[in-house]
Amino acid sequence: MVKKEKNRITVALTGNPNVGKTTLFNNLTGSNQHIGNWPGVTVEKKEGSRSFKGYDLKVVDLPGAYSLTAHSLDEVISRNFLVDENPDVVVDIVDASNLERNLYLSLQLLEMGVNLVIALNMMDVAKSRGYHIDAGQLSRLLGVPVVPLVASRNQGIDELLETITCVAEGKIHIDRLKFSYGHEMDEEIAKLESAITAGALSQKYTSEWLALKLLEEDEEIVKKFEELKPDGEKVLVVKNNSLAQLARIHRNAAGIVIADARYGFISGLMKDVLKKPAAEKVSISDRIDRIVLNNWLGIPIFAAILFGLFQLIFNLSLPLLNWINGGFGRLSESAAGIAPDWLGSLIADGFIGGVGTVISFVPIISLLYLGLAILEYSGYLTRAAFVMDRLMHRIGLHGRSVVPLVLGLGCSVPAIMAARTIENPKDRLVTIMVTPLISCGARLPIYVLLAGAFFTAYQGLVIFSMYFLGIFLAILFAWLFRKKLIRGESGHFVMELPAYHMPTIRSVLIYTWLHTKAFLRRAGTIIFIAVMLFWLLDYSGVIEPIGRAIAPIFSPAGFGQWQAASALIFGVLAKEVVIGAFGTMFAVGDGALGEAISTQLGWTPLAALAFMAMCLIYIPCVATITTIKRETNSWKWTGFVIGYTLLLAWAVAVLIYQIGSLFIA
């Protein structure tokens, strides 16, 4: 293997979910991170860099995986990266308090023949449970370096970096671990190996690994051989003979026998490496779970946590919001005096009124992400999935659908990407289709503005009702889609409940910062461009006729003015633009904007409520649409989501206005 650049080391981070991979990644790379287009949960490919002793380390964070079989997208991503990019060093992060199960992945990495370093994380948790782990012994038995860590306290990072460079320099040589899968299995593997040897695939993979994967009936690898005519077919014949032979000896499928052999090998290791106290105490995690997973309390606790989060965000951020708006208001007034006229208008209406208004929502958005970070990093979100599984099952979704739906409170884009962890394609599709109905952070500014202007006394309640409406519709439509459109069994619930962890302040802040940054970047790019374009079209009088043409459609919903229709059109670019567009049209900053809407448009509170519902439900923003297309890989379903949300939004807005009018009249 020739390295492309002498001083560059590519390091891949891998490990089971929830072992502290993100924490370690943050420790290693600090703020030198680059996250694809959108900061996802951990499904996105994250890259970072770090210099150490004259080396330039490129660190790639692979999605968390339990195994390297080909049956989940995340695992395939990891595996292909390891094969195609051939990183110099692979760091497998292993949870020391859950060693036995974690080493299963390590063994598979060793089977692949990668340059492995085991990072033994959560040493503090292991110690507090009274576990004694002999890292040196583990290293000797596996033939790879093992570095103990406490990632959350930044302990052991230098030793890890040191080890990584030593492995990259070739100072530590890593042999392929040899262990027996059982006498008969070993024989069949050897047979297959010699059948494979000459093939084209052995350039990338070792033939031993290919043999193993064939016997495990790995879809990806089998397909590769099918495509490899005629050599591949011969190999597949040998494989089928081997499987038939093994079926005569073993009661279980060959894949299970191989897995059993791995686990058996690990249990053997455990005896030499891990000493547990004779009588283990019931761990704190298990004690918390007794309450959190309780038959009666589970769901109420989940609801209370969401409600509490919501309350906290509002009570903390509303005063801040008003304070910032005051500042923008004054700024806007002084800018309006600038000559020439159009420049004054551009700065006051377009820039401060439009973009400034959007930016004033930064505190709310960051607090929202802060809350979501805590829910996610503490390990609670997986409990929520378990507790909700039965309910979700009733509506035809999967317990895991709870995770994207909760994350959807932040932004639909990472939420839809998080749906990747749902294995059943139908469950996943329906989850993706209803996630945009969950009210995201971008829609919040609209509610805050309108509720503040029209429902002074009941602000909080009105905003909450929008969230509730979103959740209600998501559930209703998930159920409808599963009943009528996308029928079939929903998938089984299998999930690890990671031990609870106190999230570190650092990782929570990084998560919050990354998402806030993404919001600011949006404000600086797409929202800025959209609002500026809107200002231009408005200033030159182009927008009004378009708005007027569409406006009558919304008359039955009470907001049939051209301004509302125009704002809605541009809101598809990003929902925040709705507010920016109003700011531009009424030439006022956020402080006076609510009032301007009520006096100049003559809306009743009911019309405002209908408009909020419209903004909540109608067409997801462009970024979300793109994500839906990418994740479903189907224009048909993407188009369907656009269509049904638009119709539903209109219907709900009209219903609110019409039914409400009956009561008020």
Partner 1 sequence: MKSMSTTPLSSVSSGKQVHIVSIEAGWGLQRRLTDMGLTPGLKITVIRSQKSGSVVLDVRGSRLALGRGISHKIMVRTPDN
Ligand X SMILES: Nc1nc2c(ncn2[C@@H]2O[C@H](COP(=O)(O)OP(=O)(O)OP(=O)(O)O)[C@@H](O)[C@H]2O)c(=O)[nH]1
Residues forming contacts to partner 1 in the complex (CB under 8 A) are 66-67, 69, 71, 97-101, 104, 217, 252-253, 255-256, 259-260, 263, 285-286, 289-290, 293, 295, 382, 386, 389-390, 393, 399, 423, 492-499
Report the phi/psi class of residue 15: left, alpha or beta, with left for phi > 0 and alpha for psi in -120 to 50: left
d(Cα 627, Cα 405) in Å, to the nearest integer? Answer: 15
Q: Which of 17, 354, 436, 470 binds ligand X (CB under 6 A)?
A: 17
Task: Work out what residue 345 binds among partner 1, ligand X, none; the CB cut-off runs from 5 to 8 Å by kind.
Answer: none
Give CA angle at 480 (477, 485), nearest 5°.
115
d(Cα 451, Cα 557) in Å, to the nearest integer? Answer: 17
Own/partner long-range contacts of 49-54 (Cβ < 8 Å, ≥24 apart): 50/161, 52/161, 52/164, 52/165, 53/161, 53/165, 54/7
Map tokens 């981070």 to a residue.
13
- Min dist CB 276 to partner 1, Å, is 9
Paired tokens of 233: 């077919």
Report the phi/psi class of residue 602: left, alpha or beta, with left for phi > 0 and alpha for psi in -120 to 50: left
632 binds ligand X (CB under 6 A): no
Per-residue contact track with ligand X, 372 to 401, x per CB under 6 A? -----x------------------------
Helix axis angle for 362-378 and 505-522, nearest 10°, is 140
CA neighbours closer than 13 Å in the CB half-sphere of residue 386 = 17
- Min dist CB 134 to partner 1, Å, is 17
d(Cα 496, Cα 400) in Å, to the nearest integer? Answer: 11
Backbone angles phi, psi at 191, to 5 degrees: -60, -50
- Min dist CB 139 to ligand X, Å, is 19
Query: 209 or 534: whose CB is closer to partner 1?
Result: 209
Task: Work out what residue 377 binds among ligand X, partner 1, none; the CB cut-off runs from 5 to 8 Å by kind.
Answer: ligand X
Which among 130-138, 272-280, 500-508, 608-616 is the span making contact with ligand X, rule CB under 6 A?
500-508
The whole-angstrom distance between residue 210's C-alpha and the CA centroid of its chain comes to 32
Query: 243 or 331: whose CB is closer to partner 1?
Result: 243
39 binds ligand X (CB under 6 A): no
Task: Work out what residue 67 binds among ligand X, partner 1, none; the CB cut-off runs from 5 to 8 Å by kind.
Answer: partner 1
* CA distances from residue 285 to 295, 498, 503 in whole angstroms, order as listed: 17, 9, 14
Query: 95 or 188: whose CB is closer to ligand X?
Result: 95
- Min dist CB 605 to ligand X, Å, is 43
Query: 64 or 410: whose CB is closer to ligand X?
Result: 64
SS (H, E, C) 522-554: HHHHHHHHHHHHHHHHHHCCCHHHHHHHHHHHH
Task: Work out what residue 333 binds among partner 1, ligand X, none; the CB cut-off runs from 5 to 8 Å by kind.
Answer: none
Give CA angle at 288 (282, 294), nearest 5°.
110
- With beta carbons less than 8 A apart as the criterion, state whether 52 and 403 touch: no
Which among 118-126, 136-144, 450-458, 518-526 is the span making contact with ligand X, rule CB under 6 A?
118-126
517 binds ligand X (CB under 6 A): no
28 binds ligand X (CB under 6 A): no
419 binds ligand X (CB under 6 A): no
- Min dist CB 493 to partner 1, Å, is 3
d(Cα 207, Cα 194) in Å, to the nearest integer? Answer: 8
Q: Which of 78, 98, 106, 152 binds ligand X (CB under 6 A)?
A: 152
d(Cα 638, Cα 651) in Å, to the nearest integer? Answer: 20
329 binds ligand X (CB under 6 A): no
Task: Work out what residue 289 binds among ligand X, partner 1, none; the CB cut-off runs from 5 to 8 Å by kind.
Answer: partner 1
Which among 351-359, 498-506, 534-542, 654-662 is the span making contact with ligand X, rule CB under 6 A?
498-506
Q: Which stretches of the chain bind ligand X, using CB under 6 A?
A: 17-23, 42, 64, 121-122, 124-125, 150-152, 377, 501, 503-504, 507
